[in-house]
Amino acid sequence: MVNTQMRSKMITALQWYADQGVDGCVVDNAINKLTFKPEESLPSPVYEKLHQNIMEQARNTVEALPDRTFLGKAEACEEALRLAMQADSLEALAQAIKNFEGIALKKTAGNMVFSAGNPKARIMLVGEAPEAEEDRQGLPFVGESGQLLDRILGCIDISRNENDPQKSIYISNILNWRPPGNRTPSPAEIEVSLPFIERHIQLVKPKVLILCGGVAAKALLGQDKSISKLRNCWHDYVPVTRGLGDDVEPIPAIATYHPSYLLRTPRQKKLVWADMLALQNFCQKNLEH
């Protein structure tokens, strides 16, 4: 018998599954949906057994959930914002992200990827999400696209390994966990991750932001335009997440193509080169007195 509390937990669990895009149950054997007639093909005890198994699995899943598991997107976003706002240092923020149970990617990823580079740098770059190598090492942009990024930044004399804030960069991503198979993050995953990256930016207080790729640019500028429309101009970045503070100084932000895209489309490198020169020019004019 399922009591009211269990029933309500199961309904919330189903809601969570639906929010993650799970819209059906998988059984052990494939069923031909064109010919399947449950009443005729399955004697009712078999059907009942199947139902019992599914209910048992659901119960086990619910019981295995830690106490503070967030089962709906709205609840997860609220908790993400609460935790992000509580974090008053980068260490506290990294710990908050690690403890947060409201993003299913945490279960499939190998390591959390928080940041790399110099937190005192005047430039902060935000990418999309870790890929396989980043997931293995727990560091952003260390795979093939990261190596290209380092070469691009090197052309304007910027490096993640520099101590001098004028020559260094601090790097993070919208998502801290790798989406399986490097798929594009879902809108729900981006939404629930935004309070963390926006708090991350608030704590680092960069003088300039590089939004690397369409996902980062759209998410942090709150705009639904393509990266080709968002690049080639300066934006004033202010937090998109409501509740992160209204009284914030806008940060100049430039959007550019993602190095993964450049690996597939090298002819666009000249546009990124133009973006880097615009960045260098901006820094020389506005940040070096």
Site residues (vs ligand URA, CB under 6 A): 127-131, 134, 140-141, 143, 145-146, 173, 260
Question: What are the Cα distances from residue 268, in Å, to 156, 198, 251, 263?
Answer: 18, 29, 26, 9
Element (H, E) at 278: helix 269-286
Nearest distance in Å: CB 114, ligand URA: 11
Nearest distance in Å: CB 220, ligand URA: 13
Helix (H, G, I), strand (E, B) or coil at 274: helix
Nearest distance in Å: CB 130, ligand URA: 5
Nearest distance in Å: CB 133, ligand URA: 8
Choice between 102 and 214, CB closer to ligand URA: 214
As to burial, measured by CB atoms within 10 angstroms (0-12 exposed, 13-18 middle, 19+ buried), residue 176 is: buried
Q: Tokens at residue 131, please? A: 């890929």
Radius of gyration of the CA atoms of the chain, in A? 23
219 pairs with which residues across the strands?
A: none
Choice between 118 and 260, CB closer to ligand URA: 260
Nearest distance in Å: CB 50, ligand URA: 42
Choice between 146 and 195, CB closer to ligand URA: 146
Choice between 133 and 162, CB closer to ligand URA: 133
Name the one residue in this structure whose structure tokens are 């004028």: 166
Choice between 69 and 159, CB closer to ligand URA: 159
As to burial, measured by CB atoms within 10 angstroms (0-12 exposed, 13-18 middle, 19+ buried), residue 91 is: exposed
Helix (H, G, I), strand (E, B) or coil at 172: strand
What is the DSSP code string of 3-64?
A: -HHHHHHHHHHHHHHHHTT--S---SS---TTT--HHHHS-HHHHHHHHHHHHHHHHHHHHH
Nearest distance in Å: CB 172, ligand URA: 8
Strands (DSSP E) along 194-286, which ranges? 208-212, 234-237, 251-256
Backbone dihedral angles phi then psi of residue 170, each to the nearest 5 degrees = -115, 135
Choice between 58 and 123, CB closer to ligand URA: 123
Distance (Å, whole) CA 43 – CA 57? 22
Distance (Å, whole) CA 139 – CA 117? 10
Nearest distance in Å: CB 261, ligand URA: 10
Choice between 102 and 140, CB closer to ligand URA: 140
Choice between 261 and 282, CB closer to ligand URA: 261
Nearest distance in Å: CB 253, ligand URA: 16
